[in-house]
Amino acid sequence: MACFFLIGVPVDKKENKSKRNKKPWPTKDAMQQVYEKNLWGSGTSDFYSGEGSHKPEIVKPYIDTLIAFLTSFENPISICDLGCGDFNVGKELVQYTKNYIAVDIVPELMERNSEKFQASNLEFQCLDIAKDALPNADCAIIRQVLQHISNDEVKQVVAKLASYKYVIVTEHLPKGNFTPNKDIISGQGTRLKKQSGINLLLAPFSFNVLEERVLLSVTDENGLIVTTLYRCR
């Protein structure tokens, strides 16, 4: 294969070196930029968490599935929503819970959510779910969040999930066979561009659970959006 040179350095080697030297932003800064520059689209609001939080064919089946889960309990349970985004989805679930703690890493987003969405059983907290202690609840919801963060940060999150009785994870996965858990730099993108997706039960995460059950799978043009229930204790 032909190899072209620039100032004595092969172009292909220079490009590889550039990729190796690419340094990640702090996750908070990366996510702030997503909203500031409308990298997931602008929608019709000041903060927009993308089609995954607004497209009816994705959102409605998810909400219906979560409502069915929440109303299956004799007494309402408490929810911790880890990565609540613009809260277009979470706002539909609050009424079915004992209390609902919504968490995200972007301060401006959480200030806006606190002003826009109010209920006696609803609370917003600005936290980094990889680094900070997580709120207590019966069930944690993590909807299309882990797909945006590095393996190291996913491992930090997974280490805390055993404290919840139930964990409901939604992830965007490629169609067909794929290699799970390829690493990425935290930010706007996902593992789909690497033909990969998150599987928490496999290395390097090895999430130890008592039960795993797929609640929902929705097909879109990029793959499958799969919602899985884990029972931890």
Cis-peptide into 204, omega within 30 deg: yes
Structural domains of the chain ordered from first start: 24-231 (3.40.50.150)
pLDDT of residue 28: 79
pLDDT of residue 59: 96
pLDDT of residue 11: 41
pLDDT of residue 40: 59
For 146-158, the pLDDT digits (tens) are 999 999 999 999 9
For 26-68, the pLDDT digits (tens) are 787 777 776 777 665 666 667 777 778 889 999 999 999 999 9
Give the C-alpha separation, 59 to 8, whole Å.
53
- The rounded radius of gyration (Å) of the Cα atoms in the chain is 19
Q: List Cβ neighbours of 67 (8 Å cut-off, separation of 6 or more).
A: 92, 93, 96
Could you give the C-alpha distances from 56 to 41, 87, 160, 218, in angstroms and in order?
16, 15, 32, 11
**Where does the chain have alpha helices with state H?**
11-21, 27-36, 56-70, 107-116, 151-161
Give the C-alpha separation, 227 to 171, whole Å.
7
Residue 128 has pLDDT above 60, yes or no: yes
DSSP 48-99: ---GGGT-HHHHHHHHHHHHHHHTTSSS---EEEET-TT-TTGGGTGGGSS-
Amino acid residing at 103? V
- The whole-model pTM stands at 0.87
The torsion angles phi and psi of 218, rounded to 5 degrees, stand at: -120, 130
Q: In which element (H, E) is residue 125 found?
A: strand 122-126
